[in-house]
Structure 1
Amino acid sequence: MSSTPSGGGEAPPAAVELRGITKRFPGVVANHDIDITVAPGTVHAIVGENGAGKSTLMKTLYGMHRPDEGTIAVHGRPVRLNSPSDAIKHGIGMVHQHFMLADNLTVMENVVLGAEGRHGIGAKARARIAELGRRYGMGVDPGLLMEDLGVGDRQRVEILKVLYRGAGIIILDEPTAVLVPQEVEELFDNLRELKREGLTVIFISHKLDEVLSVADEITVIRRGTTVATVDPGATTARELATLMVGGELPVPELRESTVTDQVMLRIDRLRVAGQGGRAVVDDVSLEIRSGEIVGIAGVEGNGQSELIEAVMGMRPADSGSIALGGTDITSWSTLAIREAGVGYVPEDRHRHGLLLESPLWENRVLGHQGRPPSAKGPWIDRGGARADTERIVADYDVRTPGIDVIADALSGGNQQKLIVGREMSGAPKVLVAAHPTRGVDVGAQAAIWDHLRRARAEGLAVLLVSADLDELIGMSDTLHVILRGRLVASADPMTVTPEQLGSAMTGAGGSEPDDTKDEGGA
């Protein structure tokens, strides 16, 4: 909320004012009667559960959707935003959750791409990028190739792209989803610098502790409408969770051990080669027993994706072996591995988890087309698949008007709940789960953790990869750290802290994880 300057003049107009915003899609009212006022020069957080309408609202503010009702004002002037280019003209930029960067281009080329008319493509553009980096504490060498940058620097490049286009209002969608704790702190320092320079940040997040640490005001959205705007100094994560979902903040934790002696998945000296023959998975060995969750911690890009793809038969092993319950599956096809009892929650749900233009019940069949309830003999069992989709929608609280809705119409979190529900169906022996709660709200997180705990107690073996270190620590019986394709350390989930884990993940010296064991370092 704006306050009158000490000089006695009038308060400046709101950076953004949304009044009565309503947006309908066929069968769904995504936003109704949304009211938000964002003061200039502040960090304003927007929180809410999946399907609450946050993404739709931000897409409306960025000109990707036209509201059916309501008004938008920027710096006190009503505006009509028909496209992202309209938003950019009014000083609004957006950094999407999934980075939109070309790995084969340099930092400078990525920043300038599409905005060549501003400062050309030469020395003037390079100088402007360097100036922005210095001014806002986001220095990244303009000449570096994007593929050589870590996740934190990639995010800075995305923010530089927005600043380069002249944005004074920046929308950040789930900006900390892929960052380790040290990178989160660096991002927050960057946001505070932006604020000091008079810029306005709209920050969308599910991580309530982070929101409380960085925001000046927090607006809570529930079921498509605003329910409260609160001062972070006068509220707690528990109170925010109650406003969001009507329940308490869930905690990722395992109770008594359910680990047995039966090894369900054994990976032995696995090597996977990347481009040019370089090892992206290098001499990795691990075992997962029935009733055990084994967590893999690592900064994205250190081989965890390739490890998972090798286990799922999506990427060939260069050497070494993978065994499921004593049977060598190293050279099996993905379908054969799945039919042998391996469930898979993919890292990229759009590329590997869903047919976005197909209805939910057809997505239930995906990857399970050879088994009941999706199949009867050689035929797809439409009735069985539809009935089981209804069960998943109910059990996993997938917010949808019906099972004939296409997957693309669901929010990202509801898509994730559908995938987790599908992959936990049919009593799998092993679940390979990459970021199972990424982009889902606190209520859905709690439900997914409960399902994992229950399946673990019934003997499920889980390989868990996550960027959420609290989730990894809380939900793992055994924890390994991967760095440059090698398992370099293990940590005791009972004693290790996120900060210690983050240090091991980045290869930093000093604070090592508790009970760290070298696992084949140099």
Structure 2
Amino acid sequence: MRGITKRFPGVLANDNVNFTVEKGEIHALLGENGAGKSTLMNMVNGLYRADEGQILLDGKPVKFSSPRDAIDNGVGMVHQHFMLVPTQTVAENLILGQKTPRFYINYKKLEQDIADLSQKFGLAVEPHAKIWQLSVGEQQRVEILKMLYQGAKLLIMDEPTAVLTPQEVTDLFKTLREMTATGHTIIFISHKLDEVVAIADRVTVLRRGRVESTVDGKSTSKAELARLMVGREVLFRIQKKPAEPTADALVIDSVSCENDRGLPALRNMSLTVRSGEVVGIAGVAGNGQTELAQVITGLRQATSGKVTVQGQDVTNQPATATIDQGLAYIPADRNGVGSSPNLNLADNLILKSYRRPPIGSGWRIDLGLVRSQAEQLIEQFDVKTPSVDLPARLLSGGNLQKLILAREISRQPKVVIAVYPVRGLDVGAIESIHQMLIDERDRGAGILLISEDLDELLSLSDRIVVLFEGQIVGEVPPEDERIDEIGLMMAGTKVEQSHAT
């Protein structure tokens, strides 16, 4: 890529970017949220056209008019925000847009191909499941499989390991090395700097739309990459005092529920979160994490069992009941569930408070107070935006998550349910959001942290439980030397068995 510039109304996304990837290498692309990484790769993938500059593939100038054009030329991208059709099955999404001879699709062969790829890359999916029935993590697996199935030679991978156990990450990295040894080329976009240092041959860092530096992946360090990304030193582990838990804040007693396909998602699960502690839940996506959060927050019916918040029974109560009991919810899907993308920032900030004084009274809403409080929260939580009137969809991922946290935490909740709160965010935003959660713990809130990022769980949690197939298979202290044990339990090994291993 030579001299690439891309503008949007009021935004210079990429400014004279020069970026070279050599055949057969794994080249990591880093940068803060909003630094221009996705825009740059969307031009390689045919979603956008550059305003200025030139793209060359195998030394020849190319201008892709669409992602279909790009994949026909061997360029595929696994997007951070999924490009899937929710009402279609996994198998149908994998072949969407491909040419089929004589209008015939051999579904038996297709399902076998999916099974072979799933086994090879450790990315288990159900071919007959519809996308809307899958968790966020499972949808990301489908995106990865889709590009592999379509035969990409240059594969752009945006946060590909977010839903994998440590063992699966190791297996994936082995596969990527085998791919590059046979001539495949990988552009690896990640915010997990440990992974970048482990896998990348070279690393390019973008900052404010420009190339800050390109460095050798084997001779650099996490600290140096973080400094290049954000322009300052970054804490990778939040400094926190020992927890001082008190009374039970959230009690889950023998809860069972079903998923969207009518299959068991939680199986007689029991867990207690006390005020003043962070309880981390580890597990591979699809093992009941989404359903657990939904049952607690009133978004899914429990088939048995009981959920109490601050001693009040909220089992199968509407979401408004859990809100009134002081429960805050930071969902995995910050665009579709955590915010209303087409509403402005001020309106998003009152989604849980407009029914009550001082914001709301009867049918009236104090718009002046809404605006002044929004401006105050945006400043307090460092949400970077030109105006509170900006639609939420125009915020970067990090700023949108800060907006959601501002809405939830400003209510001084008694219990916080945080589901993958920093997925896809840069190291600066991660540091900020992690500190907010610890501050809430120290204020006395009970925090339930659901994540697949073991570094995040080890950094924030006071204790960690592992969820597998809707059941808790073990509890361990948040110690680095237990990471292999946690990984084994995420794959279904009971805690006693993992000790023996």
Q: TM-score, normalised by structure 2?
A: 0.90
Residue number in structure 2 paired with 1:473? 458
Residue number in structure 2 paired with 1:395? 380
Residue number in structure 1 paired with 2:42? 59
Q: What is the deviation of 1:43? A: 1.0
1:46–1:54 CA contact under 8 A, matched in 2 = yes
Q: Report the residue type matching 2:28 in the other structure.
A: A
Q: Report the residue type matching 2:51 in the other structure.
A: D
CA distance in 2, matches of 1:448, 1:511: 34
1:45–1:219 CA contact under 8 A, matched in 2 = yes
Q: What is the deviation of 1:110? A: 4.3
1:255 pairs with 2:244: no
| Structure 1: runs of 5+ lacking an equivalent | 1-17, 517-522
Q: What is the deviation of 1:186? A: 1.4
Kindly tell me the number of residue pairs found equivalent between the two proteins.
Answer: 498
Residue number in structure 1 paired with 2:4? 21
Residue 41 of structure 1: SS of its match in structure 2? coil
CA distance in 2, matches of 1:227, 1:42: 20
CA distance in 1, matches of 2:350, 2:221: 42
CA distance in 1, matches of 2:440, 2:108: 58
Residue number in structure 2 paired with 1:446? 431
Q: What is the deviation of 1:379? A: 2.7
Q: Report the residue type matching 2:291 in the other structure.
A: E
Residue 36 of structure 1: SS of its match in structure 2? coil
1:341 pairs with 2:326: yes
Q: What is the deviation of 1:480? A: 1.0
Q: Which moved more, 1:42-51 or 1:28-37?
A: 28-37
Residue number in structure 2 paired with 1:9? none
Q: What is the deviation of 1:397? A: 3.0
2:295–2:302 CA contact under 8 A, matched in 1 = yes
Q: What is the deviation of 1:280? A: 1.4
Residue number in structure 1 paired with 2:95? 112
Residue number in structure 2 paired with 1:319? 304
Residue 212 of structure 1: SS of its match in structure 2? helix
1:254–1:476 CA contact under 8 A, matched in 2 = no
2:474–2:495 CA contact under 8 A, matched in 1 = no
Q: What is the deviation of 1:236? A: 0.4
Could you say if the C-alpha distance between residues 249 and 160 of structure 1 is closer, same or farther in structure 2, counting changes exceeding 3 Å?
Answer: same
Q: Report the residue type matching 1:48 in the other structure.
A: G
CA distance in 2, matches of 1:299, 1:251: 23
- Find the partner of 1:33 among 16, 34, 39: 16
Q: What is the deviation of 1:241? A: 0.2
Q: What is the deviation of 1:203? A: 0.9
Residue number in structure 2 paired with 1:122? 106
CA distance in 2, matches of 1:398, 1:149: 31
1:373–1:385 CA contact under 8 A, matched in 2 = no
Q: Report the residue type matching 1:90 in the other structure.
A: N
CA distance in 1, matches of 2:339, 2:490: 30
Residue number in structure 1 paired with 2:173? 188
Q: What is the deviation of 1:402? A: 2.2
What aligned pairs does 1:481-520 form with structure 2 within 5 A after superposition? 481-494=466-479, 497-508=482-493
CA distance in 1, matches of 2:125, 2:363: 56
Residue number in structure 1 paired with 2:294? 309
1:491–1:515 CA contact under 8 A, matched in 2 = no
1:358 pairs with 2:343: yes
CA distance in 2, matches of 1:111, 1:396: 40
Residue number in structure 2 paired with 1:73? 56
CA distance in 1, matches of 2:73, 2:88: 28
CA distance in 2, matches of 1:279, 1:409: 38
CA distance in 2, matches of 1:237, 1:481: 28
Could you say if the C-alpha distance between residues 371 and 443 of structure 1 is closer, same or farther in structure 2, counting changes exceeding 3 Å?
Answer: farther
Residue number in structure 2 paired with 1:369? 354
CA distance in 2, matches of 1:103, 1:376: 39
1:83 pairs with 2:66: yes
1:19–1:70 CA contact under 8 A, matched in 2 = yes
1:137–1:193 CA contact under 8 A, matched in 2 = no
1:46 pairs with 2:29: yes
Could you say if the C-alpha distance between residues 68 and 495 of structure 1 is closer, same or farther in structure 2, counting changes exceeding 3 Å?
Answer: closer
Q: Percent identity?
A: 45
Residue number in structure 2 paired with 1:241? 226
Q: Report the residue type matching 1:352 in the other structure.
A: V
CA distance in 2, matches of 1:282, 1:37: 50
* RMSD between aligned residues: 3.3
- Find the partner of 2:187 among 185, 202, 209: 202
1:252–1:449 CA contact under 8 A, matched in 2 = no
Residue number in structure 2 paired with 1:4? none
Could you say if the C-alpha distance between residues 302 and 330 of structure 1 is closer, same or farther in structure 2, counting changes exceeding 3 Å?
Answer: same
Q: Report the residue type matching 1:73 in the other structure.
A: L
- Superposed CA deviations along residues 151-190 of structure 1, whole A, max 9, x for unmatched, are 9997676445324434321111110111111111111112
Residue number in structure 2 paired with 1:383? 368
Residue number in structure 2 paired with 1:173? 158
Residue number in structure 2 paired with 1:428? 413
1:281 pairs with 2:273: no
CA distance in 2, matches of 1:302, 1:133: 21
Residue 300 of structure 1: SS of its match in structure 2? coil
CA distance in 1, matches of 2:229, 2:480: 31
2:474–2:494 CA contact under 8 A, matched in 1 = no
Residue 350 of structure 1: SS of its match in structure 2? coil
2:299–2:319 CA contact under 8 A, matched in 1 = yes
- Superposed CA deviations along residues 321-367 of structure 1, whole A, max 9, x for unmatched, are 11111111113210221132111101111221111112111111122
1:339–1:370 CA contact under 8 A, matched in 2 = no
CA distance in 2, matches of 1:287, 1:124: 46
What aligned pairs does 1:447-466 form with structure 2 within 5 A after superposition? 447-466=432-451
Residue 234 of structure 1: SS of its match in structure 2? coil
Q: Report the residue type matching 2:367 in the other structure.
A: R
1:372–1:384 CA contact under 8 A, matched in 2 = no
Residue number in structure 2 paired with 1:97? 80
CA distance in 2, matches of 1:397, 1:118: 54
CA distance in 2, matches of 1:299, 1:457: 28
Could you say if the C-alpha distance between residues 278 and 416 of structure 1 is closer, same or farther in structure 2, counting changes exceeding 3 Å?
Answer: same
Q: Report the residue type matching 2:427 in the other structure.
A: V
Q: Report the residue type matching 1:396 in the other structure.
A: F
Could you say if the C-alpha distance between residues 393 and 76 of structure 1 is closer, same or farther in structure 2, counting changes exceeding 3 Å?
Answer: farther
1:261–1:290 CA contact under 8 A, matched in 2 = yes
Residue 457 of structure 1: SS of its match in structure 2? helix
Q: What is the deviation of 1:495? A: 5.9
Q: Which moved more, 1:310-319 or 1:375-384?
A: 375-384
Q: Report the residue type matching 2:274 in the other structure.
A: R
Q: What is the deviation of 1:400? A: 2.4
Residue 20 of structure 2: SS of its match in structure 1? strand
- Superposed CA deviations along residues 356-386 of structure 1, whole A, max 9, x for unmatched, are 1121111111223224664356532323332
Q: Report the residue type matching 1:87 in the other structure.
A: A
